[in-house]
Amino acid sequence: MLRVKDIGRTMAEQIIVDEYIAIKIKWPTSEYLHESKVYWSTGNLDTSMLEIGIGIVSGEIRSITAVLPEDIVFLVDERKKVEDIVSGIPIVDISMCKNGRTIDDIGLFQVQCGEKRVNLFMSHNEVTSIIESGRVSFGLDKDKNICNILVSDLTEEESYQVRDTLEYALGKLSESE
């Protein structure tokens, strides 16, 4: 799991949805425009993967790409009220990266789709605090590990495209089994 060690300043995100990738989020900044990234991945890394790009110098999360989850639920449970909410971008610990470019962490990757939001789960641990940056919220457990990433306030078009891409990908995956 990704452990948050600090919080950077809030930046405007760019949310991209298309027919190939369910959802991609980028935080382009001029300050670290040419900063190399370390890529942390979870899921089973064969048929499902969530990839998070992290600045190799800053430790700030730079991108999130949901390729294909293991499981999709099209109803979103109400979020538990969490009072500890701060603004910014998580700065994570990348010391576990031994080869300099990738961290493969086989584990949970599930998605809950709602009418105007998508919740990406990497853990079922209880969320005790939240870091918000625009339309993206990072749920942290008591040990400051990122448990989930909530993308909210999706437009009608974004919501439709995310659902359509996930349904299509899951249909293709089940046909090949």
* Confidence class for position 115, pLDDT limits 50, 70, 90: confident
More reliable by pLDDT, 156 or 18: 156
| Mean pLDDT along residues 105-130 | 90
Q: What is the spatial distance between Cα 51 and Cα 33, in angstroms, rounded to a whole number?
A: 19
| Mean pLDDT along residues 24-48 | 82
Phi, psi angle pair for 17, to nearest 5°: -130, 140
How do residues 126-176 score in pLDDT, each as one tens digit?
999 999 999 999 999 999 999 999 999 999 988 888 888 887 776 654 555
In the predicted model, is pLDDT for residue 102 greater than 60? yes
In the predicted model, is pLDDT for residue 92 greater than 80? yes
In the predicted model, is pLDDT for residue 33 greater than 70? no
How do residues 71-81 score in pLDDT, each as one tens digit?
777 765 555 67
DSSP 167: H
Q: How many domains does the chain have?
A: 1
More reliable by pLDDT, 5 or 100: 5
pLDDT, residue 47, reads 79
60: β partners: 91
pLDDT, residue 56, reads 87
The whole-chain average pLDDT of the chain stands at: 85
Q: Are 71 and 111 in contact (CB under 8 A)?
A: yes
Residue found under tokens 């942390």: 40
- Run of H or E including 72: strand 71-73
Sheet of strand 71-73: strand arrangement:
71-73, 110-113, 118-121, 146-151, 136-140, 129-133, 85-87
Global pTM exceeds 0.95: no
Q: What is the 3-state secondary structure (H, E, C) of 113-151?
A: ECCCCEEEECCCCCCCEEEEECCEEEEECCCCEEEEEEE
More reliable by pLDDT, 110 or 81: 110
Q: Which domain holds residue 139?
A: 4-176
pLDDT, residue 17, reads 84
